[in-house]
Chain A
Amino acid sequence: MIFILLCALMALAPPSKVRAYDTPNDGGGSVTIEWQISPDDKELIGYQIYRSEDGEIYEKVGFIGPGRTRIEDETQDGPEYIYKVAAVQDTIRSYSDPSPPVMSRAHLVDRTKTNVFVSLLVFGAIILYFTYAARKGKEMFIRKIAGLQAVDDAVGRATEMGKPILYCPGIGYIEDIATIASLNILGEVAKKCAQYDTKLINPNRDPIVYTVAREIIKESYSSVGRPDSFDPDNVYYVTDSQFAYAAALDGVMIRERPATNFLVGWFRAESLILAETGASTGAIQIAGTDQVSQLPFFVTACDYTLIGEELYAASAYISKEPLLLGAIKGEDWGKFFIGIVLIIASIIGLLTTFPILGLFR
């Protein structure tokens, strides 16, 4: 009798209120198990999670440390599962009651991203509104961007000097938004080169970017009525290797001595190698990237640098296309709206943080 009482006193209390449910907002194949910790939690080495399909034979599917109350289990969609959680202390196990049966399934919508979806709609609506206003003839003001104002001068300088222009779209792939923005700028630069009959050299690092760049330049030459001036040999693929590409571009800069270098797109460590080599040849350099870590190198070694969003606004700025300017206006209003939200959120945050203003908590 005393032995039984001692055993009862020494027995571990199991975790309670075990609840298993289909993990929400996922693509299926997952069940979330939650429980209330054992009253003896501090003495445990952790919790073992057991799973059964028939309620009789359980298999161990997970282990988690003490103090934890939640775990996700990988499952197959379709069958129903029952879970038990065991408190573990050395070789002792104390099992909870089984959970109600649960079945995992794939969800159609991830509701945690509703805020992103709403923001996307609002932002898209603002852009569309200003594009529509621009189509109706509303004048749009856009602040001066020194780097883009210099494009005309840079092309003119190359024409006067009889030297080529080098356009490097970076080492990004076609799916990188900076590469896409760079290709948009390339179209406008190519038009100006075609108008002035200036040689445009465009070496590429990615084969898909190369094919797209070639078509863009070809179309730009055609759109200004100079298809005959397009030389396909000036647009070429070099290599997929980052530093071999940098070496090849350095070679072009040293041999061809371009009057202007455009270094616009997605860059990594080769940015400074390219920009410094270009600076040493005396070329005007217009750079642009959305890679924050590479911006200081460009700012240091180039004459003009398009910082972040200026890169995306560039094609609209150069082309002066009203619809594109309208979209930039919409972009600015979107930023203004988000800025206001951030300021309000910061004020609320401050009001609830200062002890003296704890009244607002």
Chain B
Amino acid sequence: MKRTFPLILVFVFGILGIIPFFVPHPVVQNADEFLRNEFLRILVAFALVLGLGSLLKVHIDKIKRKRENWQYSWILIISFLISAIIGLFGGVGGTGILPTTIGSFQFDIWTIYWNVVMPLGSTMFALLAFFMASAAYRAFRARSTEATLLLAAAFVVMLGVLPLGDRISPHLPSFAQWIMDVPNVAGQRGILFGVALGALATALKIILGIERSWLGGGRE
């Protein structure tokens, strides 16, 4: 029963997920909307409590055991508590019962998001430029035939999109575009073709109970 019940649930909800694709009737579409939005949102709320519990547990444990860099866990816990209190009682945009303004200094959850979370995310994203440079260096070392081909294709495409490419030969930009439009798209379509069928097969395997790795594997 421990395994049968989840399998039945997956089969029923899997089929319920397929039906709305073929049946446009509002009764079916509304039920699907309810399952995907309302029901899933309730599940997320429960899972979020579990998730945040696990996050706090891991960091409290780290502080207790004085593991490496345990001091940073205090920053996480304090930030977590402060933003939770401001978010719960300060309201979005400082409309809650907790005052979120001292003079001209605002610290409502929206201000915190725009001035702390967003810049931190942007900083991480900006690092991508440097990682891309190091990855390009690694990829373009012509160590094998494939890497040499990659280097040659990238060189032509990069040259083709630069004004210099047009000066070298007026055909270079269109050749670079051809590389992007034909061999590149052909390769991508081949992968997408496999992805689509693989996704369908995986969905069928899970719905029909053939794939049970998500249950920890094995048979009944």
Q: Which residues of A contact B (CB under 8 A)?
A: 25-28, 106-110, 113, 116-117, 120, 123-124, 127-128, 131, 175, 177, 180-181, 183-185, 187-188, 191, 204, 207-208, 210-212, 214-216, 218-220, 222-223, 232-233, 235-239, 241-244, 246-247, 255, 269-270, 272-273, 275-277, 279, 290, 292, 295-297, 299-301, 307-309, 311-313, 315-316, 319, 321, 323-324, 327-328, 330-331, 334-335, 338
Contact = CB atoms under 8 A, between A and B. Distances in A.
Contacts of A238: 55
B213 A188 contact: yes
B125 to A, nearest CB: 6
Interface residues of B, number: 65
A309 B197 contact: yes
A233 B138 contact: no
Contact of A312 (B128, B191, B198): B198
A299 B140 CA distance: 12
Contacts of A300: 135-136, 138-139
B138 A208 contact: no
Interface string B176-194: 0000000000001001111
B85 interface: no
B201 A127 contact: yes
Nearest to A211: B47
B202 A181 contact: yes
Interface-central residue, B29, B201, B203, by most chain A CB under 10 Å: B201
Nearest to A295: B191
Contacts of A187: 213-217
Contact of A210 (B40, B51, B216): B51
A74 B96 CA distance: 41
Nearest to B52: A237
Nearest to A321: B217
By secondary structure, the A interface counts as helix
Interface in B49-84: 50-52, 54-55, 57-58, 61, 68-69
Nearest to A332: B197
A273 B133 CA distance: 11
Contacts of B1: none
A321 B215 CA distance: 14
Contact of B22 (A109, A219, A246, A297): A109
29 contacts: A27-B25, A27-B29, A107-B24, A109-B23, A110-B22, A116-B22, A120-B200, A131-B210, A187-B213, A187-B214, A187-B217, A207-B48, A207-B51, A208-B47, A210-B54, A211-B50, A218-B216, A223-B218, A238-B55, A243-B124, A244-B120, A247-B120, A269-B128, A299-B139, A301-B138, A308-B194, A309-B194, A312-B199, A334-B201
Contact of B24 (A26, A244, A272, A316): A26
A204 B127 CA distance: 22
A184 B213 contact: yes
Contact of A117 (B22, B48, B128): B22
A3 B216 CA distance: 90
B83 to A, nearest CB: 12
A132 to B, nearest CB: 10
Contacts of B124: 243-244, 246-247, 270, 273
Contact of B201 (A246, A255, A312): A312
Interface-central residue, B29, B193, B197, by most chain A CB under 10 Å: B197
Given A123-B197, A308-B192, 20 more contacts: A110-B23, A123-B201, A128-B208, A175-B40, A177-B199, A184-B202, A184-B211, A191-B217, A212-B214, A219-B215, A233-B58, A244-B124, A269-B125, A269-B128, A292-B192, A292-B195, A296-B139, A327-B201, A334-B197, A335-B194
Nearest to B131: A276
Contact of B23 (A108, A188, A316): A108
Contacts of A328: 201
Contacts of A183: 213-214
A243 B24 contact: no
B198 A331 contact: yes
Contact of B205 (A220, A272, A319, A327): A327
